[in-house]
Structure 1
Amino acid sequence: MLHSLTSNDERFQSVHFGPGLNILVAERTDISTDTDSRNGSGKSSVIELIHFLFGAQGGNKSLWANESLGRHVFTLELDWPGLREVLTVTRAAGRPNRISVYPDVTRRAPQSLFEQAAEISPKEWQWLIERDLYGSSAENAEISGRTLMSFTVRRVGSGGFLEPTRTFAQQSPHDAMVNLCHLFGLDVGLAARYRLLSNQESTRKKLVEAAKDPVWGKIVGRSAELRGEIGAVEQRLTELERQIADFQVVPEYENIRREADRIDQQIRALRASEAIERRNLQDLERAMEDVAEPDDRYMEAAYKQLNMILGREVRRRFDEVRAFHQTVVRNREKQLSEEVARLRELLSERGRRRQELGERQAVLLRTLNSGGALDALTSLQFALAREQAHLESLRHRFQAAQALEASRRDIDAQRLELEQEMIVDLEDRDAATREANALFNRYARRLYGDGKNPYLAFSPTKQRMRIEPKIEDDGSRGIHNMVIFCFDLTASVIAHRSGRGPDFLIHDSHLYDGVDERQVARALQLAAEVSEAEGMQYIVTMNSDDLQKAISVGFVADPYIIEPHLTDQPYGGLFGFRF
C-alpha cells in the first residue's frame, strides 16, 4: 500500500494514504469565480507523480520536465513485498535518470549493519517492480513493469480511459494482452507468441511491398524469376569450366613474361641514370665556358696614372703570380675536358645498351602478343570467378525469396497451432477464468443490478488472444467508464490474490465523468468493501461536486476522504503555486 507522497518544497501539499478506500477531493472555494477551474488543483498531477516515482520516463512535455519543478525532489513511501519497514522511493525532477530506494531492495549485496539507500536507473527500478510487485520470476521476461503499472494507475493524458484493455492510444494490443494475461494468470508465453507472429507478419508485409519496388526488388526478387536466372548462370559456369579444363599453357610463356619484366626494369633504371648524367654534363660544359686566365694589364695603367714606377722586384713577383694562375687554369680546363669526355662516352654506352635491351624487349613482347595464351587463361579465370560470385548471390536471394513466399503459409500454420494451444490452455485454466468472470459479473451487477448480464470473454483467435469485458449498454460514456472500473478492479483483485500484482489500484477523477450519481456512489462503496475484504487500497481523485452527488444518494464519504483538500485557488493546489 502507498503511505505518502511528499516533496522537498515546503509549498507542496503532502498526500497521506491509508488502507482501503482513499478519496482525494478537489474543492471549489467560496471565493472562487466563474473562471476558476479545479483542473489546475493537482488531481491528475498526483497520478503523474506516482508514475514518475514508479520509473516513468516521459519527455519534454511531461509534468516533471517543467522548469518550475527543476529543484523539486519527490518521495513516495509504500509497503514493499518482503520488507517489514516502509520503502522510501526518491526521485528528483532535475535528475530523473537516478532513483533512490531505501532500504536497498536490489539484493545485490548482503545487508549490513548500517543500511544505505541504493541509487538505481529507471530500467533497474522497472525490473524490481516486475520482480517484487508483479511477481515476475525472471529478468528480461515478456511482461513490462511500466505497462503493468499503467493498468494499476491509469493516466488520462495518455489515453488510459479509451479502452479497458489498453492504457494508451497507440499501444499494441499484443503488448497489452501479454501483460493482462499475467494479471489474470494465463499463459504469458502463449500470448507473447502472438506478439512474435504479429511482428513477423508485419516484417513480411514490408518485405513484400519492398519487393514490388523496381530498385529494392532487386535485393530479393521473385523465386520463379531467380530460378531461371540461376539456371542460365550455371550453364555459363559449365562452359567456362570446360574451356579452362581444356586450356594448355606452355611453360616458356611464363619465363618470357618474367624476362620481359626484368628488361623493362633495366631500361627504366638506365633512363633514370641517363637523366642524372646529362644534368652533370650540362653543369660541366657551363663550367668550361667560365674558365679563363686572369688579366693583370690593368695594373700597369693604374700605376702610371698614379705617377708610380713598378720596381724590378715587384714586376718579378707579379710574373710569378701570373704564371701560377695560368697553370691552375690550364689544369682546371684539362680536368673538365676529361670529365666531359668521360660522361659523353658513358652516355653513348648507355644509349647503345638501352637500344639493345629495347630490341630484345620488342622481340619478347611480340612473342607474348602473338601467343596470348597467358592473357586468355587469365581472362577465363576472371570470368569464372565473377560468375561464381554472381551465382552465390542469386542463390542467397533465391533462398530469401522462397522464405518470404513461404513465410505467410508458415505464419498461418503457426497461428492455427497457437490458437489450438491457447484453447487447450484456457480449458486447463478454467478455474482462473471462472474466478475472474465471477468477480467481474458480481462487481458489474452491484453497479447496474441484476437486469444486465455482464461477463468477461476469454477468446483465443487466429490473430490474437482477446480478453473482452461486456456489459449491456446504450453506448454511453458513463457505462463505458464503469466497464473500465469493474475490469481494473477484477484484474487487481485476481493478481493480488495470487501474488502477481500490488495491493493498490488508483483511478483519476476522469473515470467518473459522465457517470450517473447512483453508479458513482455504488462504485465507491464497492471499492471500499472490496479493498477492505481483500486487504487492498483503492485511491481515487474526485471533484467535490461529483462526490456530493454520490453523497446525495446515500454514500457516506467522510471516513474515506484524505488530506489535503485541494482547491482551485493559486495556493490551494497540490504544488502550492501555479506554473
Structure 2
Amino acid sequence: MFRNLTSDLPDFKNASFAPGLNIVVAKRTIAARRQDSRNAVGKSSFIRVLDFLLGADARPDHPLRRPELADAYFETELELGSGVVRVRRTGSDPGHVEVDGVSMRNTIWRQRLGEQLFSLSGSASEPSFRSLLAFYLRDVHNGAFEKATEVHRKQSASASHSAMAYLFGLDLSLLEQAKDIANAEKSLKELRKAANDPVLGMTLGKAQDIEAQIRTLSIQVANLEREISEFKVVDQYSLHRAKADELSRIIRKLNDSLVMEERRLGDVDTSIAQESETQPDHSYVQQMYDQLQITLPDGVIRRFDEVAAFHMSVVENRRRYLQSERATLLESLNVKREELSRADSERSEVMRILEAGGALETYKELQLELVQVRSRIGELQQRRETIDKWENANRHLQLRSAEMELRFSMDLDDRRSQIDDIAQLYSSYAYEIYGSGRPASLSVEPSRTGYTFVPTIGGDRSQGVKSMALFCFDLTMAVTAKRNGRGPDFLVHDSHLYSDVEGRQMASALTLAANVAEREGMQYIVTLNSDDLKKAQDEGFYVNFHECALFTDQYENGGLFGIRFN
C-alpha cells in the first residue's frame, strides 16, 4: 500500500493514504474564474507521479521532465514486503531512483518491485513488471480506459494475454509456446514479403507459374542440346562466308550487265530489220513531171541516180556496222553467261559447305545460351523449393496453432473450477452495481494465441456500462492476483473511468470498492471531481472514505504541482 506522496515543490498538494477507499478530490472553488477547469488540475498527473515512482519510463515528453518540474524531487512511502520503503526520484535524472537513501538504477528498482509486488522470479516466460503494473495504474493518455483487456493502444495481443494470464493464475508455459508459433509465423510472413520485394530480393511468384516456366525452358534446353550435338564446325567459316557474299555481288553485277546488253541486242536487231526494208524509189518524181508534160533535163536525171547510189552505199555501211555490233554483243553475252554460270556454281558449293556446318563462334554462342538457360532453370527450381518449404512451414505452423488452441481449451477445461470462481467474482461485482437487470459474465475462451478474456455486462452498450465492465474486470483481477500472491494490495483509477457513469452506478461502484478493499485488505485510490462525488452521495454513497488529497481549480496554485504551465 501507499503511505504518502510528497514533493519539494512549494505548493505541491501532498497526499496521505490509508487502507480501504482513498479519494483524491478536485473541487470547484467559489472564486474560480469561468475559464478555469478541473480537467487541468492534475488528477491524471497525480497517477503519473505514482507511476513515475514505481519505475515508469520517463521519456523527454514526460510531464515530470518539463523545465518547470525537472529539478523537483517526488517521494512516496510504500509498504513493500514486511516493511516500508521511501522512494525518491527526479525528472532531471530519470535513469536512477533513490530507495531509502540509496541510489540505484531504475532497471534494478523495477526488478525489485517485480519480485515483491508480483512475485516475479525473472523467468523468460513471465511478463514484465511494467506490463503487469499498467493494469493497476491505467494511463488515460495511452488509451488505457478504452478496453478492459488492454492498457495501451499499441499493445500487442501477446503482451496483454501474458499479463492477464499471470494475474489470473493461468498456464504461462502454454502462452510461451503460442508466442513462439506466433513469432515464427510473423518471421515467415516478413521473410516472404522481403523475398517478394524486387528491391530486397527476387520475386518468388506462384508455384504453378514457376513450374510452367521450368517446363518451357526444359524444352528449350532439349532443342539446344540437339542443335549442338548435330552442329559441325566449318574451318575458315568467316572466309567462306565472305566468299559467298563476294560471289553474290558478282552474280548480281553480271545479271545487271546481261539485262542491259540483251536490251542493246534487241535494239540492234530492230535496226537491222529496218535497214533491210525496200529503199525509196525516185521514179515517182519522173512520173509526176511526165504528167505535167515537163521534160526533165538529162543532168537532173543523172543526179537522181548518183544520189540513189550514194544512199545505197550509206545503207550498206550502216548494215555492216550493225552486224558487227550484233556479233560483238552476242560474244559478250556468251562470255558473261559463262561467267555467271561459273560464279553461281562456285557460290552453290560455298553455300553447301556453310549449310553443312557453322562457325566456331556460333557453336560457342549455342553452348553459352545452353548454360544460361540451365542456370535459369536452376534458379527457378530453387525458388520453387523455397515456396514449397514455406508452404509446408506455413501448413505446419497452422497445424501447430490449431493444436495450441486445442491445448488451451483442454487447459481451461481442467481449470473449470478456477475459471468459474473468477467468473462468479466478476458477476457478483456487476450485480452489486446493476442488480439483476443486467446479466454479466467474464468468460475465458481459448484461441490460437492464448487465453482471451471477455468481460461483458448485458443490456445497453453505452460508455458508462463499458466503464463499469472495466471497473469490475480490474477489481476481479486485483482481488484474484492478491489472493494468489501474484499482485499488490492496491488499485488506482483515474476520474475518466467515471465521467460517463450515472450517479446511482457510481455510488454502487464506490461502495463496492470500499467494501472489497476492506474485506480483502486492499487499498483503492481514485481521483474524482467534487460534483461527481456529490452526485454519488446523493444517490446513496454513504461509506466513509479517506480524502487523501484536495485539488482546486484556482488558476495560480490550485492544481497538483501548485504551478501553471502550458
* TM-score bin, normalised by smaller chain: 0.5 to 0.7
Worse-superposed segment, 521-530 or 59-68: 59-68
1:194 aligned to which of 178, 187, 206: 178
Superposition deviation, residue 503 in structure 1: 0.5
The code of the aligned residue for 1:414 comes to R
- 1:519-553 Cα deviation digits (max 9, x unpaired): 11111110000000000000000000000001112
- 1:275-310 Cα deviation digits (max 9, x unpaired): xxxxxxxxxxxxxxxxxxxxxxxxxxxxxxxxxxxx
Superposition deviation, residue 52 in structure 1: 1.2
Question: Would the alpha carbon gap of residues 403 and 76 (structure 1) be closer, same or farther in structure 2, given more than 3 Å must change?
Answer: farther
Superposition deviation, residue 74 in structure 1: 1.2
What is the alpha-carbon distance in structure 1 between the residues aligned to residue 88 and residue 209 of structure 2? 63
Give 3-state SS (helix, strand or coil) of 1:26's partner: strand
Question: Would the alpha carbon gap of residues 437 and 578 (structure 1) be closer, same or farther in structure 2, given more than 3 Å must change?
Answer: same
What is the alpha-carbon distance in structure 2 between the residues aligned to residue 387 and residue 74 of structure 1? 74
Give the corresponding residue for 1:537.
523
Give 3-state SS (helix, strand or coil) of 1:128's partner: helix
Question: Would the alpha carbon gap of residues 495 and 396 (structure 1) be closer, same or farther in structure 2, given more than 3 Å must change?
Answer: farther
Written as runs of structure 1 = structure 2, the 5 A alignment for 1:30-41 is: 30-41=30-41
The code of the aligned residue for 1:165 comes to T
Question: Would the alpha carbon gap of residues 157 and 217 (structure 1) be closer, same or farther in structure 2, given more than 3 Å must change?
Answer: same
Give 3-state SS (helix, strand or coil) of 1:523's partner: helix
What is the alpha-carbon distance in structure 2 between the residues aligned to residue 477 and residue 228 of structure 1? 58
1:117 aligned to which of 90, 102, 122: 102
What is the alpha-carbon distance in structure 1 between the residues aligned to residue 467 and residue 99 of structure 2? 35
Give 3-state SS (helix, strand or coil) of 1:94's partner: coil
Give the corresponding residue for 1:206.
190
Superposition deviation, residue 473 in structure 1: 2.8
Superposition deviation, residue 476 in structure 1: 0.8
The code of the aligned residue for 1:543 comes to N
Give 3-state SS (helix, strand or coil) of 2:88's partner: strand
Question: Would the alpha carbon gap of residues 101 and 395 (structure 1) be closer, same or farther in structure 2, given more than 3 Å must change?
Answer: farther
Structure 2 residue 512 is the aligned partner of structure 1 residue 514: no
Give the corresponding residue for 1:86.
84
Written as runs of structure 1 = structure 2, the 5 A alignment for 1:203-242 is: 203-218=187-202
Whether the 8 Å CA contact 2:31–2:554 is kept in 1: the answer is no
Give 3-state SS (helix, strand or coil) of 1:31's partner: coil
- Structure number with larger C-alpha Rg: 2
TM-score normalised by structure 1 residue count = 0.66
The code of the aligned residue for 1:172 comes to S
Give the corresponding residue for 2:112.
128
The code of the aligned residue for 1:176 comes to S
The code of the aligned residue for 2:88 comes to T
The code of the aligned residue for 1:189 comes to S
What is the alpha-carbon distance in structure 1 between the residues aligned to residue 375 and residue 126 of structure 2? 42
Whether the 8 Å CA contact 2:20–2:545 is kept in 1: the answer is no
Whether the 8 Å CA contact 1:11–1:575 is kept in 2: the answer is yes
The code of the aligned residue for 1:440 comes to Y
Give 3-state SS (helix, strand or coil) of 1:499's partner: coil
Superposition deviation, residue 217 in structure 1: 4.9
Question: Would the alpha carbon gap of residues 8 and 394 (structure 1) be closer, same or farther in structure 2, given more than 3 Å must change?
Answer: farther
What is the alpha-carbon distance in structure 1 between the residues aligned to residue 382 and residue 523 of structure 2? 59
Superposition deviation, residue 66 in structure 1: 1.2
Give the corresponding residue for 1:523.
509
Give the corresponding residue for 2:144.
160
What is the alpha-carbon distance in structure 2 between the residues aligned to residue 23 and residue 458 of structure 1? 32
Give the corresponding residue for 2:74.
74
Structure 2 residue 59 is the aligned partner of structure 1 residue 59: yes
Worse-superposed segment, 411-420 or 1-10: 1-10
The code of the aligned residue for 2:175 comes to A
Worse-superposed segment, 530-539 or 387-396: 387-396
Structure 2 residue 459 is the aligned partner of structure 1 residue 461: no
Structure 2 residue 492 is the aligned partner of structure 1 residue 492: no
Give the corresponding residue for 2:329.
none
Worse-superposed segment, 446-455 or 220-229: 220-229
What is the alpha-carbon distance in structure 2 between the residues aligned to residue 491 and residue 21 of structure 1? 17
What is the alpha-carbon distance in structure 2 between the residues aligned to residue 392 and residue 127 of structure 1? 54
What is the alpha-carbon distance in structure 2 between the residues aligned to residue 79 and residue 64 of structure 1? 24
Superposition deviation, residue 412 in structure 1: 1.0
Whether the 8 Å CA contact 1:22–1:538 is kept in 2: the answer is yes
Question: Would the alpha carbon gap of residues 203 and 521 (structure 1) be closer, same or farther in structure 2, given more than 3 Å must change?
Answer: same
The code of the aligned residue for 1:576 comes to G
What is the alpha-carbon distance in structure 2 between the residues aligned to residue 436 and residue 19 of structure 1? 24
1:423 aligned to which of 388, 398, 409: 409
Superposition deviation, residue 58 in structure 1: 4.1
Give 3-state SS (helix, strand or coil) of 1:151's partner: coil
Give the corresponding residue for 2:419.
433
Give 3-state SS (helix, strand or coil) of 1:445's partner: helix
What is the alpha-carbon distance in structure 2 between the residues aligned to residue 76 and residue 4 of structure 1? 5
Question: Would the alpha carbon gap of residues 68 and 565 (structure 1) be closer, same or farther in structure 2, given more than 3 Å must change?
Answer: closer
Structure 2 residue 434 is the aligned partner of structure 1 residue 448: yes
Question: Would the alpha carbon gap of residues 223 and 493 (structure 1) be closer, same or farther in structure 2, given more than 3 Å must change?
Answer: same
Whether the 8 Å CA contact 1:521–1:550 is kept in 2: the answer is yes
Give the corresponding residue for 1:97.
95
Superposition deviation, residue 41 in structure 1: 1.3
The code of the aligned residue for 1:206 comes to E
Whether the 8 Å CA contact 2:125–2:173 is kept in 1: the answer is no
Give the corresponding residue for 2:242.
none
What is the alpha-carbon distance in structure 2 between the residues aligned to residue 546 and residue 531 of structure 1? 21
Give the corresponding residue for 2:264.
none
Give 3-state SS (helix, strand or coil) of 1:539's partner: strand
- 1:110-144 Cα deviation digits (max 9, x unpaired): xxxxxx6241233x333323222112223444302
Worse-superposed segment, 502-511 or 409-418: 409-418
Worse-superposed segment, 560-569 or 29-38: 560-569
TM-score normalised by structure 2 residue count = 0.68
The code of the aligned residue for 2:549 comes to E
Superposition deviation, residue 206 in structure 1: 3.3
Give the corresponding residue for 2:7.
7
- 1:404-443 Cα deviation digits (max 9, x unpaired): 2223211210111101111111122222211111110000
The code of the aligned residue for 2:147 comes to E
- 1:80-130 Cα deviation digits (max 9, x unpaired): 12xx3211222111110112223xxxxxxxxxxxxx6241233x3333232
The code of the aligned residue for 1:570 comes to E
Structure 2 residue 175 is the aligned partner of structure 1 residue 177: no
Whether the 8 Å CA contact 2:196–2:202 is kept in 1: the answer is no
Whether the 8 Å CA contact 1:42–1:566 is kept in 2: the answer is no
The code of the aligned residue for 2:182 comes to S
- 1:62-89 Cα deviation digits (max 9, x unpaired): 21121111101111211112xx321122
Aligned residues: 425
What is the alpha-carbon distance in structure 2 between the residues aligned to residue 72 and residue 54 of structure 1? 17
Question: Would the alpha carbon gap of residues 213 and 24 (structure 1) be closer, same or farther in structure 2, given more than 3 Å must change?
Answer: same
Q: Alignment RMSD, CA only?
A: 3.3
Whether the 8 Å CA contact 1:40–1:568 is kept in 2: the answer is no
2:134 aligned to which of 150, 164, 173: 150
